[in-house]
Structure 1
Amino acid sequence: MSDLSGRTTIVVGASRGLGHGIATAFAEAGAPVVAVSRTAAEFPEPANGAGTIQLEVADAGDPTVVGSLIDRHEPQAVILVAGASPHLRPLQQHTWETFSANWQTDVRIAFHWLREALLTPLRPGSRVVVVSSGAALAGSPLTGGYAGAKATQRFITGYAQDEARRAGLDLTFTAVLPRMTPLTDLGRSAAKAYAARNGQSEEEYLQQMGPLLTPQIAGAAVVELVQADAASIAPGYLLTGAGLQKLA
């Protein structure tokens, strides 16, 4: 996978934020990209006539859509970034519906795509990257079930790798857990809410987070991960403004 030319990459949740940065980075690395999102999005023209970006407006949580997109495009890399924006409020102010929103969306999307990758299966040598969240490690008390949903995404990515190994499939699954960044809509809202909860200004809160993760850094990191030798890929990574860090 070191050469992405001609290797179709599906990026699910590509319309904004980290997903947009990841889709753009793969196209610039030479890959034909299928950018899946619920809404239309615009992308810069890849430099030097490198890869391409084809937009697919679709519900990534619909299992019939998942199977159709994989059958039609035959990807050799699938990057799952899509998810619901959680409601930012203390536990007692959640309803069950707001608390469970990320289980119904984020986990469902990961489940359907991981399942289809194994059942189809994807071509030998293919890679699947599930973009979870650093909240899976640290918790997230203002987002209801978000942290638990993101931890479950990480768990089922590991389950998929085990099943691929048991079936003798040459597929690599890994989870990437990005740290909160104010350079996405979700991160910006969360930083504001947590700063207020801690009695800090947003600037004070963000200063303690270290180098900020940008969509461009995320894109470069995931491209590097997909291009790496499969034997060197860990089950999970923390992603910060400083890049990828293997998780134990």
Structure 2
Amino acid sequence: MTEPHELKVLVVGAGRGLGRGIATAFAESGADVVALARDGAALAALTDTHPTVRTHVADGTDAAAARHILDEYQPNTVIVVAGATPVMRELVQHSWETFSVNWDADVKIAFIWAREALLKPLPRGGRVVMVSSGAALNGSPLSGGYAGSKATQRFIAQYAQVESERADLGITFTTVMPRMTPAGDVGRAGIRAYAHQAGLTEDAFILQLGPIVTPELAGQAMIDLVSLDPADSAAGYLLTGAGLARLS
């Protein structure tokens, strides 16, 4: 088991929401944390409260930037949270451009970081965690291609795990699928759209969701996950307000 002080964690998409919560939790546990996001102001706000966190402003879809960042910071743990906020509307109201927003962002991000982690490669014992969405399991009819893109992130992690094993790299790829939460831009957009469709207030809709996934809970879940033996963590997990549940 890797102790927190031995972890060198790169969080891709650490500017806000669950990504920020994950970066914060690892920093508070004593890990060496690099927070990556496109929004420099959001990263500056993170370092105001957690000055040990190193930051890097970059676009997670930029393959050259991914290679450079892995070479510069030499992480042994990469947690990919970044993605686009889907356009929320009924299928017939979508164009292909609005429907495919998350294919051009979320799928590309997962592909790039999984590929670069294999090509570098990360050190033996390294971990890559793709933070997908519960929509990958249940669908999301108002968010265009979002659910399919999140399911594809899980497939990418599975393919990468197979390649790691074939090449005996010792890198573990895991997918975590959080339930809808108001803690981030994507969840708030979904809550707003589905509450309107159901004729509910947003607060009433949130009450139906049960225990909420918070940034703090997501951060602790990631710490718990990377503390597992790799043989137990190369899988998919659902993340709810009650914590992680391994999927068969």
SS at match of 1:125: coil
CA deviation vs aligned residue, 1:151-207 (integer Å, no higher than 9, x gap): 000011000001100111111100000000112222122112101112222233222
CA deviation vs aligned residue, 1:92-126 (integer Å, no higher than 9, x gap): 11111111010000000110110011111100110
SS at match of 1:130: strand
Who is 1:128 aligned against?
128
- TM-score after normalising by structure 1: 0.95
Taking only aligned residues, the RMSD between alpha carbons, in angstroms, comes to: 1.3
Who is 2:107 aligned against?
107
Who is 1:179 aligned against?
179
1:231, distance to aligned residue in structure 2 (A): 1.8
Q: 2: CA distance between counterparts of 1:45 and 1:100?
A: 36
Structure 2, gaps ≥5 residues long: none
Who is 1:36 aligned against?
36
Q: 2: CA distance between counterparts of 1:224 and 1:29?
A: 11
1:6, distance to aligned residue in structure 2 (A): 4.2
User: What amino acid maps onto 2:174 in structure 1?
Assistant: T
CA deviation vs aligned residue, 1:210-232 (integer Å, no higher than 9, x gap): 10110000000011101221122
**Contact 1:17-1:184 at 8 Å conserved across structures:** yes
User: What amino acid maps onto 2:239 in structure 1?
Assistant: L
Who is 2:118 aligned against?
118
User: What amino acid maps onto 2:200 in structure 1?
Assistant: Q
Structure 1, gaps ≥5 residues long: none
Who is 2:76 aligned against?
76
- Structure 2 CA distance for partners of 1:226 and 1:167, relative to 1, 3 Å: same
Q: 1: CA distance between counterparts of 2:234 and 2:138?
A: 20
Who is 1:198 aligned against?
198
SS at match of 1:5: helix
SS at match of 1:149: helix
Who is 1:59 aligned against?
59
Q: Moved runs in structure 1, 4+ residues, more than 4 A?
A: none
- TM-score after normalising by structure 2: 0.95
1:161 aligns with 2:188: no
Quick check: 190-199 or 1-10, which moved more?
A: 1-10
Q: Quote the sequence identity (%).
A: 56
Q: 1: CA distance between counterparts of 2:15 and 2:163?
A: 31
**Contact 2:84-2:105 at 8 Å conserved across structures:** yes
SS at match of 1:245: strand
Who is 1:149 aligned against?
149
Who is 2:237 aligned against?
237
**Contact 2:161-2:234 at 8 Å conserved across structures:** no
**Contact 2:172-2:234 at 8 Å conserved across structures:** no
Who is 2:26 aligned against?
26
Compare the two structures and name the one with the higher helix fraction: 2
Q: 2: CA distance between counterparts of 1:108 and 1:125?
A: 25
1:2, distance to aligned residue in structure 2 (A): 3.0
1:52, distance to aligned residue in structure 2 (A): 2.5
User: What amino acid maps onto 1:16 in structure 2?
Assistant: R
User: What amino acid maps onto 2:158 in structure 1?
Assistant: G
**Contact 1:30-1:52 at 8 Å conserved across structures:** no
